[in-house]
Amino acid sequence: MRTNGLEIADIFREYGHAFRKIYPVPTYYTKVMNLIVCCRSAALGSHTERCNECGYERVAYNSCRNRHCPKCQYTEREKWIIKRENELLPVPYYHIVFTIPDLLNKIVLVNKQIMYDLLFRAASETLLVLGKDEKHLGAEIGLIAVLHTWGQNLMDHPHLHCIVPGGGLIRNKARWVLSKKAKYNEFFIHVNIISDLFKKKFLYYFKKVYKSEELKFTGSIKYLSTPEMFHELLNVLYKKKWISYCKRPFGGPEQVLEYLGRYTHRVAITNSRIKRIENGHVIFEWKDYRKGNEKKEMALSPVEFIRRFMLHILPEGFFKIRYYGILSSRNKKKALAQCREILAPKEDIPINQTANKVRTELIQTEVTIRDIKKCPQCKTGMMGCINVAIRAA
């Protein structure tokens, strides 16, 4: 039985070859596996770090920086939070989750790029259209959408997390409109209305890509290539109740950043959830949401564990975090400046102070000592790179 410091890299290193013999994967997937295996090892070279206070030096191996690597996401998340900290508004924030029926899961796996794009498009249009509707808010809203593709058991479960400010901007009147339901801590659009429009929009675009013959149907879903079977699937999907979920608003900038820090740069499973390899099985921890988030352990063969992890490799160059409305890159600078001028809170917490507090908490709770840039010698200085050793060819 192996227990100490087990990582996904260890499982890939030991059982990756057996997995690839059974499941031939594209070159890009093999590259991801190799990068995770080599992360922070001599294979990727090293660099020398020096403390800016006491002068202590150490040699550290380079990171792979792949977005699927659990060891590399802390730094990327940190950079992302720093960029976002000055974009938050002094208003409540809401968390909306969009999911698609599991009947679509096999189609998604064969058509990741197209289906993930449909998910983003349908969800963002749903919120933006309803936000502009006078019956609900009558203003332009903004949102940050983050794609997750997994469930706690590592199986495919595509869903979208959306963070939405509580209100919207009426540009021509230079006014910020609050939700009529804000005092009840409710989102300005009922979840049933969101779910219904999301279903209609998703299936509209789904039919469109089918008619344009963009979708591939192979293996167990090959039968759906015939119009009769595809329309039968559509009828089932239209009749089915689609689930969207709204959480109560966050308390303020601190809670928003804390949430974003936990969700935006997640991978399918963290190393800390892998408990041991025992009797030829990988044992990992998972939460059973159907039983009140009860923590359980699941045992999978190493090959099956790798197979499930590889389900969540995103298409090359795919953007898993996207911005819309007043938070889109095209509108953000001007719109946020206008929003701040309108809102102008009397007692506003400096966002950078909030971010520093959140980053400190994240360091204390989620990362190992080798991920922390604080000097291990004097405990006060910060380690900075002074020299990079290029890896041997």
What secondary structure, in 3-state letters, does 114-153 show? HHHHHHHHHHHHHHHHHHHCCCCCCCECEEEEEEEEECCC
Confidence grade of residue 345 (pLDDT, cut at 50, 70, 90): low
Q: Average of pLDDT values for 220-241? A: 96
Instruction: Report the share of the chain in percent with pLDDT over 70.
Output: 87
Whole-angstrom distance, CA of residue 393 vs CA of residue 391: 6
pLDDT at 117: 98
Cα 268 from Cα 283, distance rounded (Å)? 15
Report the pLDDT value the prediction gives residue 348, as an integer from 0 to 100.
46
- Return the pLDDT at 387: 79
Contact by Cβ (8 Å): 197, 126: yes
Q: What local confidence, expressed as pLDDT, does residue 346 receive?
A: 46
Query: What's phi and psi for 158, nearest 5 deg?
Result: -65, 130
The arrangement of secondary structure in 89-268+311-343, i.e. its CATH architecture, is: 3-Layer(aba) Sandwich (3.40)
Say which range, 9-18, 37-46, 124-133, 220-229, has the weakest mean pLDDT: 37-46
Q: How far apart are CA 275 and CA 282, in angstroms?
A: 8
Specify the DSSP element, H or E, that contains 33: helix 27-38
C-alpha–C-alpha distance, residues 267 and 125, integer Å? 26
CA angle 265, 266, 270 (to 5 degrees): 135
pLDDT for the residue 88: 85
Q: What is the mean pLDDT of residues 190-204?
A: 95
Residue that the structure tokens 């809102």 belong to: 343
Task: Tokens for 289, please give them.
Answer: 């949401």
Q: How many other C-beta atoms lie within 10 A of the C-beta of residue 349?
A: 13
Cα distances (Å, whole numbers) of residue 302 to 34, 230, 237, 297, 307:
16, 36, 35, 15, 9
Amino acid at 184: Y
pLDDT attached to residue 364: 40
pLDDT of residue 178: 81
Query: Is residue 369 scored above 50 in pLDDT?
Result: no
Distance in angstroms (rounded) separating the CA atoms of residues 243 and 79: 33
pLDDT at res. 44: 86
Whether 210 has a pLDDT exceeding 80, the answer reads yes
Contact 352, 28 (CB under 8 A): no
Q: Calculate mean pLDDT across residues 177-183.
A: 70
DSSP structure class, residue 49: E
| pLDDT value for 254 | 65
14-18, 95-99, 233-237, 345-349: which has the minimum mean pLDDT?
A: 345-349
Give residue 251's pLDDT. 66
pLDDT given for residue 393 in this prediction = 45
pLDDT tens column, 135-176: 889 999 999 999 999 999 999 999 999 999 889 999 787 899
pLDDT, tens digit (0-9, with 9 covering 90-100), for 327-337: 998 888 899 88
Element (DSSP H or E) covering residue 80 = helix 73-84
Break the chain down into helix, strand, coil percent, rounded to 5: 45, 20, 35
Sign of the C-alpha dihedral, residues 140, 144, 150, 151? negative
Sorting pLDDT into bands at 50, 70 and 90, what band is 319?
very high
In sequence order, the 6+-apart residues with CB closer than 8 A to the CB of 50 are 56, 57, 383, 384, 386
Cβ atoms of 266 and 151 within 8 Å: the answer is no
**Quick one: pLDDT at residue 305?**
97
Average pLDDT of the segment spanning 174-202: 84
Which is more confidently placed, 206 or 246? 206
DSSP state of 89: -
Express as a percent the part of the chain with pLDDT over 90: 56
Question: pLDDT tens digits for 53-103?
Answer: 999 998 888 888 899 998 887 777 777 877 787 788 888 888 899 999 999
What pLDDT score was predicted for residue 23?
Answer: 95
Average per-residue pLDDT for the chain: 86
- Strand duo 294-300 + 321-325: pairing: unpaired
pLDDT in tens, 237-256: 999 999 998 887 666 666 77
pLDDT at 278: 92
Rounded to whole angstroms, the Cα distance separating 362 from 299 reads 29
CA distance 307 to 296: 21
Asked if residues 71 and 63 have their Cβ atoms less than 8 Å apart, the reply is yes
Is 368 a residue whose pLDDT tops 60? no
Q: How would you class 236 by CB atoms within 10 Å of its CB: exposed for 0-12, middle for 13-18, buried for 19 or more?
A: exposed
**Which of 245, 260, 248 shows the shortest CA–CA distance to 144?**
260
Q: In the predicted model, what is the mean pLDDT of residues 196-217?
A: 97
Mean pLDDT within 268-285: 94
Of the given ranges (16-20, 319-323, 354-358), which has the lowest mean pLDDT? 354-358
Of the listed ranges 83-92, 207-216, 289-298, 318-327, the least confidently predicted one is: 83-92
All CATH 3.40.1310 domain ranges in the chain, comma separated: 89-268+311-343
Residue 201 · residue 122 · CB < 8 Å: yes
| Per-residue confidence (pLDDT) for residue 352, from 0 to 100 | 47
